[in-house]
Structure 1
Amino acid sequence: MDTIATMVVPLVNEGRVRRLGSRIVEQVMGSGTSARISGLIGAGNQVTSNSSACSTSNEAVIEAMWRIRMGLAKRMVAGGSEGATPYIWGGFDAMRVICRKFNDNPTAGSRPMSASAAGFVPGSGGAMLVLEELETALARSARIYAEIMGGYVNCGGQRMGGTMTAPNPEGVRRCICTAISDAGIDASEIDAINGHLTATYADPHEVKSWAAALGRVPENFPFIQATKSMIGHCLGAAGAIECVASILQLYKGFLHPSINCEDIHPEIVDYAEKIPKKCMEFPDLKIIAKAGFGFGDVNSCIIFKKWEEK
């Protein structure tokens, strides 16, 4: 985006297109990142850059899982990245969904599930996962961090309250339930949820959608956390980064906190005890559900399980 805004547009408008250089298309094409990685590692299977707003890199991981399941690949590299640019953030600020209230205290700005949440804090970064069928991973003595049990991607169709910028609650619930079914587990087996939870008005609706999908009341609800409380919202890269967070928690047996939410939103105050405020040891942590929701009413959910020697 920065390259287009600061280089392509000015030079094209000035009629100096030859100054762009012969590699400009490589730098700005949507599939440039995956193509670049493919060349670096010699990837010879599907090489794709998908795009589904904030669900993008979750979907990439699920697509890689499906490809291995179908017998079309032994291993895949999947993830996402997002650059830091005001040319993207400016649009969200125009929508009044970026936090301005805590500019004098930035560390308090990202407040998912909080009554005083005032919008998301933009972030940037990236993460990649190596997915591999079990047999080949064991054969090469790979370090296995977790199992991907299942996942699902769907769309709410922008119906029943869903819009271009808001999720259809029924679509969200259907996505979660289908991911659980695909994983071959029962909803009662989920120990923790790594939610999408962005510090916007949608947070309490998301928690309620989880409760409805899992059929669990506050007393037996899983722990629920927001990685974005600590790193902000990395948009297309959010899913992959938060998948890594989920996997490392399973691997090391702990749950990271959701910071800045001491004042729980009144609509979900009954779930307050299920929101870790501090890092907590959890040696028996077995299954984490990771969700991502994006503009266009798109949804994704992945079920991760702690790897245990068979």
Structure 2
Amino acid sequence: MKRVAVTGLGAITPLGNSVTEFWNNIIAGKSGAGPITKFDTSKFKTHFAHEVKDFDIEQYVEKKEARKYDLFTQYAIAAADEAIKDAKLDFAAMPQEERFEVGVIWASGNGGIGTFEEQLKEFYSGDGTPRFNPFFIPKMIVDIAAGVLSIRYGLHGPNYATVSACASSNTAIISAFDTIRLGKAKIMIAGGSEAALTPASIGGFNASQALSKRNDSPETASRPFDADRDGFVAGEGAGALILEDWDYAVARGAAIYAEMVGGGMAADAYHLTGTPADGLGAALGMQKALKDAGLNPHDIDYINAHATSTHIGDLSELTAIDTVFKGIDVAISATKSMTGHLLGAAGAVESIISVLALKNDIIPPTINVENPDAAIPQGLHLVLNTLEKRPVNYVLNNTFGFGGHTATSIFKKVN
């Protein structure tokens, strides 16, 4: 099968609206958390999140056009724009026949949930007459970001969305990887975006007891692996990767960040929102990714853990890692401690971290760990509070989602 190169990266995150700013804050161990500014949280149990700051869609599209898009699509446009420029691709100058071989697989867990809430609020606060925005449906549906990107750049290759809750964008990246290596496209824009910091979303996660309530200290609330963790901290944003047929990328003189070498997907088949104590689905996904890449567990140098800062979820994943990597010195960190949980965009943003960890030989830290959970399997190499500098040749990136979905991707250093 074809080899697959990573040639471009783009990010809109709570830690910066460019890949450079984002990465610098990641290695500095900063938190993007703060009080929610998007709506009044006084009656909610959780008053904080990881919001994107200073985002201006008019840097990318005109105000009139922007009104057609929910915020999750706006984030997608911005992240993809940076990734395309980073890869030095000029689709406008590319013959149409070549654009037949360029596609988009873009993910979101919630799509236009903000638009959905706004429109229903307007309807029920009025006289009952259905006066909906003509763009209500296309603003809301999850696949629209992929469609908008294809229209924006005139790309005629495979085009669709993947939805697997918080595993969605890792699933999109794996699907794009498979599309290229099977020879069905030369270039794929892959990633995900989420803009679900809304009353219904925060209220719903509160009702399921999933969110942290550490309102007095938002910056320290996301604390994977810590004994005092009390839930995840919601976030928003987008991550984009440009994946290319290796030979095509080399022929056009592209700078290559990394090679994507494997992907594995599985299911817990266990519970709507919970994970099994033995981490079966996570272990299966990691084993499938290793097999797909033709690697052994000892080949992996760093695992970017899904670790959201929930009590059961963190332990389940670490148990799975212990099952697959027993006795192997592989560094593990949870970058959601800094970004918060970007839900359907998490896998893409963490893929960017994984790629840059390879490029820079840096293991980002897990911040806010003051009292490591005594139930964590013994012998695991957790990178806590301070980054580590060490050779990184292979990175494994885990993402899991409500419904028991698991997705694991593997990236290789380019020498």
Calculate the TM-score normalised by the size of structure 2: 0.69
Secondary structure, counterpart of 2:161 in structure 1: coil
* 1:164 maps to 2:272: yes
Count of matched residue pairs: 298
Distance in 2 separating the partners of 1:261 and 1:40: 43
Distance in 1 separating the partners of 2:274 and 2:262: 25
Per the alignment, residue 358 of structure 2 pairs with 250
1:277-292 equivalences under 5 Å are 277-282=385-390, 284-292=391-399
Per the alignment, residue 123 of structure 2 pairs with 11
Per the alignment, residue 176 of structure 1 pairs with 286
Distance in 1 separating the partners of 2:296 and 2:377: 26
Cα drift, residue 14 of structure 1: 3.6
1:110-189 equivalences under 5 Å are 110-156=222-268, 158=269, 162-168=270-276, 169-189=279-299
Contact preservation (8 Å) 2:119, 2:136: no
> What letter matches 1:278 in structure 2?
T
Q: CA RMSD in A?
A: 1.6
- Structure 2 stretches lacking a partner, 5+ long: 1-112
Contact preservation (8 Å) 2:363, 2:383: no
Query: What is the CA deviation profile of residues 108-161 of structure 1, one whole-angstrom value per residue up to 9, with x for unaligned ones?
Result: 1000011111100111100011000110111111111111110011222x2xxx
Cα drift, residue 241 of structure 1: 0.5
Secondary structure, counterpart of 1:76 in structure 2: strand
Contact preservation (8 Å) 2:116, 2:136: no
Query: What is the CA deviation profile of residues 150-199 of structure 1, one whole-angstrom value per residue up to 9, with x for unaligned ones?
Result: 0011222x2xxx21112342222111111101001111111110010010
Distance in 2 separating the partners of 1:120 and 1:280: 24
Structure 2 CA distance for partners of 1:36 and 1:258, relative to 1, 3 Å: same
Structure 2 CA distance for partners of 1:52 and 1:137, relative to 1, 3 Å: same
Per the alignment, residue 34 of structure 1 pairs with 146
Secondary structure, counterpart of 1:270 in structure 2: coil
* 1:96 maps to 2:209: yes
Contact preservation (8 Å) 1:153, 1:175: yes
- Structure 1 stretches lacking a partner, 5+ long: none
Contact preservation (8 Å) 2:257, 2:359: yes
Q: Of 175, 185, 193, which aligns to 1:63?
A: 175
Secondary structure, counterpart of 2:291 in structure 1: helix
Query: What is the CA deviation profile of residues 26-45 of structure 1, one whole-angstrom value per residue up to 9, with x for unaligned ones?
Result: 21122111111111122211
Contact preservation (8 Å) 1:264, 1:272: no
Contact preservation (8 Å) 1:155, 1:299: yes
Per the alignment, residue 200 of structure 1 pairs with 310
Secondary structure, counterpart of 2:376 in structure 1: helix
Cα drift, residue 302 of structure 1: 0.5
* 1:233 maps to 2:233: no
Secondary structure, counterpart of 1:30 in structure 2: coil
Distance in 1 separating the partners of 2:260 and 2:245: 10
Cα drift, residue 268 of structure 1: 1.5
Q: Of 376, 384, 409, which aligns to 1:268?
A: 376
Cα drift, residue 271 of structure 1: 4.2
Contact preservation (8 Å) 2:265, 2:406: yes
Distance in 2 separating the partners of 1:120 and 1:176: 23
Q: Of 238, 248, 259, which aligns to 2:367?
A: 259
Per the alignment, residue 293 of structure 1 pairs with 400
Distance in 2 separating the partners of 1:208 and 1:135: 39
Contact preservation (8 Å) 1:167, 1:298: no
